[in-house]
Amino acid sequence: MISPPVTITTTAQPAAVIRLTIPRDQIQHVMGPAIQEVMQAVAIQNLTPAGPVFSRHFDMQPDTFDFEVGVPIQGEFTPVGRAYPSELPAATVLQTVYSGPYEGLGEGWEEFMGWIGDQGHITANGLWERYVTGPETSPDPADWRTELNKPLPA
């Protein structure tokens, strides 16, 4: 389900985002429209995406998600509606790639977090996913790839 995890160092990437704090069971209903809203805000400013769409989670409680959805950009982003400038941070992260439909991401994260624990890693708060390939690329969910990133302490 996941590729062998690796440790990498990321560089900061400017991004356009929308931050959401929602009940966990609403993610499938609000994430898609929020991504569309961000992409429209980027397009009307004639900016170019500089990577795949992502979600960056700040806090995940049993009933609530606090996260940003966005896209890395080239250029300076001006706030539009709910969209505002942010960034994916520079960090050292443990990273793996989950293959399959979005409905299986929870199981992918469980497998990844189990590996992290088995290896004795201590991680920092937060995490992010980058949706490398998805339904816009292939109708077959078996072809979809989601990069999972869990930061290590600085």
Instruction: Identify the structural domains of the chain with CATH numbers, from first to last.
Output: 6-151 (3.20.80.10)
Output the average pLDDT for the chain.
96
Q: What is the pLDDT of residues 70-89, one digit of tens each?
A: 999 999 999 999 999 999 99
- Pick from 78, 73, 82, 89: nearest CA to 21: 82
Q: What is the pLDDT of residues 34-59, one digit of tens each?
A: 999 999 999 999 999 999 999 999 98
Contact 127, 93 (CB under 8 A): no
Confidence of residue 154 (pLDDT cuts 50, 70, 90): confident
- Check pLDDT > 90 for residue 60: no
pTM summary value: 0.95
61-to-24, 47, 54, 93 alpha-carbon distances in Å? 8, 34, 20, 22
- Cα separation, 147 vs 141, in Å, equals 15
Which residues are CB-contacts of 29 (< 8 A; sequence separation ≥ 6)?
none
Confidence of residue 1 (pLDDT cuts 50, 70, 90): confident
